[in-house]
A and B are shown apart, each in its own frame.
Chain A
Amino acid sequence: MSTMPEHSKAVGMYESMYLIRKYEERIYYLFLEGTMPGSIHQSHGQEASAVGVLYDLSPSDYMASTHRPAGHDLAKGVSVESMMCEMFAKSNGCCHGKGGAMHTGDIDVGVIPANAIVGGNIPIAAGIGLSFKLQKKDNVVVSFFGDGASNEGAFHEGINGAAIWDLPVIFVCENNLYGASTSIKTTLKIENIADRAASYGIPGEVVDGNDVLAVNEAMTRAVDRARKGEGPTLLELKTYRIPGHSRSDACAYRDDAEEEAWFARDPIKLFRSKLLETGTATEEEIAKIEAAVDERIEASVELAMNSPDPRPEEALENVYWDGGVQA
């Protein structure tokens, strides 16, 4: 049974989870309205994973996300305003309009551009861990990926590299049961992806990914091990996305009973009830936090809609670090 953290951390975690939920819901409606360009791969339903993993890290710890990055980014401290502006393809977005929904990040808070190649960030995270070790920093790096990525070659090469060199990497597999529309029942012969850790000689742990406190405690063990120079850990967080894989996905491949069972364990509802039941926070306090988040999100939409577009010619800049333009 997980222990409720002290008050400010507990409500801080709730606020972060609620921010992700409301951000993703708002984005969804903005897409339905046709207000935003591009595509979306949303993370609501998986807030306990993002917040449980990232809540205790500092900006100098790094995080590498996936094509479904919003929850991770917000939990690691990328500002909701810069994220919203990027979604609207504005020049003041976190990638100045060059990244978009699948590449959001902010290096000032330790978030490299999110990676839309499945498994692509796993060897990169090993490299970040290697560089921390060479520079004798005690930072850690988190690599997020899904169940699908565990069948990529990059998963094998990246985790093996981090394992043999005892690198400070936490590999976090968010197992939401489907790679796009394909069930893991047809892509994995094993029950738990965490079991694959054994083949690299590192700890692997299966965690209830909808219980933010369970995730946070498992993460604390993994981070302690990493900071002590003992090497990486593979955490498998069993979770479920509320939306489809991407904007046009109505989830025809998921049956009602499965959805019902998972939605009954909505991570935000679970944690909110727990905060109230344990007397950690009052209804009034939570309502106040929620109202402030709602307001901040509306303000970010307002800001994004009124922000300037990039100049078309900016497309020719930043190809290279020094000169910008194509050499």
Chain B
Amino acid sequence: MSTMTIVEALNRAIAEEMRRDETVFCLGEDISDANGGYGGAFAVTRGLHAEFGDERILNTPISEILIAGAAVGAAMSGTRPIADLQYGDFLFCMMDQMVNQAAKMCYMSGGRVKVPMVMRAPVGASTRGAQHAQSLEGFFTHVPGLKVICPATAYDAKGLLKSAIRDDNPVLVFEHKKLYGGKRVEDGALSTIGEVPDEDYTIPFGEAVVRREGKDITIVANLLMMYRSLEAAEKLEKEGISCEVIDPRTLVPFDYETVITSLKKTGRLMIVHEDNYNNGWGAQVAAYIAENEIYLLDAPISRIATYDVPIPFAPIMENFVVPSVDRIVEGARKLMKA
């Protein structure tokens, strides 16, 4: 067992998989640290070039269509690419390749072609303004053919990324800038240093984790919002409101069972995400529960999400639009009265 940050956990997962399987390689902008390069915008691939060289730690031009398209093509012809996107917002530059190509090749071929690729995309507001800030999960959970994961701890980052690399389908990995814990300091970053086994392990997709047990409200929250929900739960406990916090860990596939099991105990559901409110991934979870398990509910479902605005630069405004611990606490109080 070692303790490490998410950045280190992701780095180890990539290195171990590249050693295990020589068809695994990385591509992306600035991912090599040779000749003074970055080793990735958030330093996830730092140090890997020395071991794996130019071909397997492949720096690309600033060409997102190429990055995604090359990953699709390489995945269809015998290799397992891990693409690094610097900022999730750039996914829109490669939308055709992700949605029309990666997601549909297996289906259009009648199940005769597979696309085992990984697309890593940092998300989250971090005082960089509207185009380096979005939480984009909802766009991609909507696309049949893609898998979508969002690890929030070092243990999950390593185990889920390994599963993603070994998966025979395109997997989008959303990583949060404020949870990396790397050398690139972010305002408001949290420490996610945690224990990670030294031996090889993977975490299956579709298995949520109960991060805190409680009996009054079930809070489902991912990435940074999972930590804010835990902090809110701490405060609410003092007021006599007991919250169970569930980290879904993967959004496609989604573990509804763990949420349903919790609701049998609490009868109240709150969903918290940094993805914005309209059609954020929580809308699907809320609709699913309303459709299938409404009799478990003692109160209306509550959704705490980023307001439906582009992410503003001013920290004071950014902190206002992204759900805060106080907003979660306030929402929980309201939900208890409902």
Residues of A within 8 A of B (CB): 62, 64, 93-99, 103, 105-107, 112-113, 115, 117, 120, 122-135, 141, 153-154, 157-158, 160-161, 164-165, 317-322, 324, 326-327
Contact = CB atoms under 8 A, between A and B. Distances in A.
Given A103-B108, A318-B107, A131 B96 contact: no
A317 B252 contact: no
Interface in B78-137: 78-79, 81, 96-97, 100-101, 105-116
Contacts of B107: 98, 318-319
A130 B70 contact: yes
Contact of A327 (B64, B66, B253): B253
A172 to B, nearest CB: 16
B110 A99 contact: yes
13 contacts: A95-B110, A96-B110, A107-B113, A112-B113, A113-B105, A120-B97, A127-B71, A131-B77, A135-B79, A141-B73, A157-B66, A320-B145, A327-B147
B109 A123 contact: no
Nearest to B110: A96
Interface stretch (B55-63, B175-183, B187-195, B220-228): B55-63
Interface in B129-181: 144-145, 147, 167-169
| Residues of B in contact with A, size category | 35 or more
A230 to B, nearest CB: 17
A157 B145 contact: no
Contacts of A326: 144
Given A117-B101, A320-B169, A327-B253, A123 B111 contact: no
A138 to B, nearest CB: 14
B69 A107 contact: no
B77 A62 contact: yes
Contact of B69 (A96, A97, A99, A158): A158
A165 B25 CA distance: 15
Interface of B: 23, 25, 55-56, 58, 60-61, 63-66, 68-79, 81, 96-97, 100-101, 105-116, 144-145, 147, 167-169, 205-206, 252-254
Given A107-B109, A157-B65, A321-B116, 14 more contacts: A99-B108, A106-B112, A112-B105, A115-B101, A123-B68, A123-B73, A127-B76, A132-B77, A157-B69, A158-B66, A161-B61, A161-B66, A326-B144, A327-B147
A123 B253 CA distance: 28
A153 B62 CA distance: 12
Given A123-B70, A157-B65, A157-B69, A327 B60 contact: no
The winner among B60, B69, B105 for most chain A CB atoms within 10 A is B69
